[in-house]
Structure 1
């Protein structure tokens, strides 16, 4: 009996006591039972009660069901990544006072957090999620797992990959039917270079996105799987090239896929770079950059790759490379992208042949950042560089301590039991 709950909601919103609302209409006891949905009541009584609240009860009941559907539609728009729909639904829902109804308040707050993550307001989303966890709100099993999902997304977006895996891994799929979280698990495992596990969860996500006809997320997931396919060893290049061309054409078919297309060009360029096809890589990196504003973090990722390809392939003068590296550093600082700040500072050191400063950056900035985020392949890459530098500088004690740390962090095949 939603009518009673709705009467109570608007009574409390108007600041009326049960006695004030019931006066001359029914007893307080009867109103209390109506509000709790534990008694039969005449339409005449509910009509008089709603008129005193200046509400059309039938319209409010209809609005209750409409808002319930609107919240589902809003969540789906964000899962499907239909940005315009998500924006419009947010505006409609925020205008509706019933969003604060007890049945909707928690879900509304959670979806607002999801929207903030969706629009890169990360700290705002995290603050809201921690407030939700502190509040004494009744959580359904679904909402409890939605909190874990949203925290997992936040941890991934802020580079806390192990925390993201822990939060997402605690989700029980029997109580949470939004299998999109498999994709976020795949991304988190990809970020710590657990490629087989990442591919496993990506396959599960892909089945969900295909079942729900979510074309944009199909592109995302197939892109991730293609990256994993080439992760440990180079997959057949013609097959890789063909898959990238198909995904790029898929982006042209879909709306709102410019950033996806840029990411695809970036990944495609990286596969060329790994195969020492520097000129082809540089052209693809240029295409990736041309689709984005300079403030976009993915523009900076593509610029980083472009600098590497052009430097190794001697495609640009050192002066031009330095100019681009400084431009990248400026944008990275402005956007507070720590990882890219480190990358561009390292580019500048190498181009200026300031090797002492380069290795100092590895020691004092790059490795601490990478260890915190758990990027094992890059940790291994820079630790080896640093070890050889220590040896060349006859810093044997530093080399020994680094080697000891490297050995202790590695598990042998026979340890995985």
Structure 2
């Protein structure tokens, strides 16, 4: 791995290298998906559709313009799976794997880029963290692939079952919504299957917690403590999973198009799965077009929130929302500091959380307004699709295959921004910021 780029180091900052790296992988994936070997005989794939598919896979989203299970050959499906793996773990993580295999030294510049890609505060122990990321990810995916394969052998030939098991384990752990069951069915055929649901939910949750959290949990028996970050992630993840499960169950309990026709066991698994998948996984076990509007709105909110920092998930992240609620609570209580688990959080963290949420809202609202003009469908469907793309979720109400050229390009932009990260993308596009040599006098304006 050698990322020594010619030119001024101020130009090739870590955020810019990360954004460029993802763009290069998307373009490479696009050309591979256009090869005749990638799609079924007699069916061509335009560059735009190949670019859209490669973007969706690399940004671990799952929105598709052609059916993955029936349109692509095993070669094309393998290309998509590799793009999902690279995009989920990060191209710098995969580059580090290659460097470690060939015993190459990780330079200081490369460590800086790794720090940016993993959203870490400093470089200390970054290579050790990357090794853990690779080990945990491949181990979890292997277990998931084995269980999936054994279960799918009941419905498919052994060879196909093994390939399906590997593909869906990689797709679900990396919180991508791609599936191979054909006809855009996703996991609807297994809505009440305990094995498929349980394994899928575990893969999604473990992928969405973040690698720092996984490391903390695995080493808890040795260290006997959890970091503030891990506690915050577990708190928000638990709240969102429980709240989503209860609300989906209440909203859809009597809906004949979703939960109404299912047994008690089916209702339980379908509600729990939908609560889990809405925060960036993209798979579904019920027909999304049959959901009630209250459930669709809840889904949009959950997609916007997403998973946790340093994970395979997208969205504004669970800790960002926790900080925002913490700031509101502190204001209502008349306190100057935001306190979590007896730790005071710095103002720069609050400002960063506020920046991410406002930036994300502006991006999604702007994209929704443009799509409302370019696409012939209702407002809620457009908002759902735009939020799904930004949150790198992959859930769809059926609009994606019928998008116009402008719509496809805009959705690609949303997926790219959601995967690279709003702050990283802003730093990549913005000129070098110099520190202000002075501070202005404090002023006051009326609020509220």
TM-score when scaled to structure 2?
0.24
TM-score when scaled to structure 1?
0.26
Larger RCO: Structure 1 or Structure 2 (Cα < 8 Å, ≥ 6 residues apart)?
Answer: 2
Larger helix proportion of the pair: 1
Give the number of the structure whose alpha-carbon radius of gyration is greater.
1
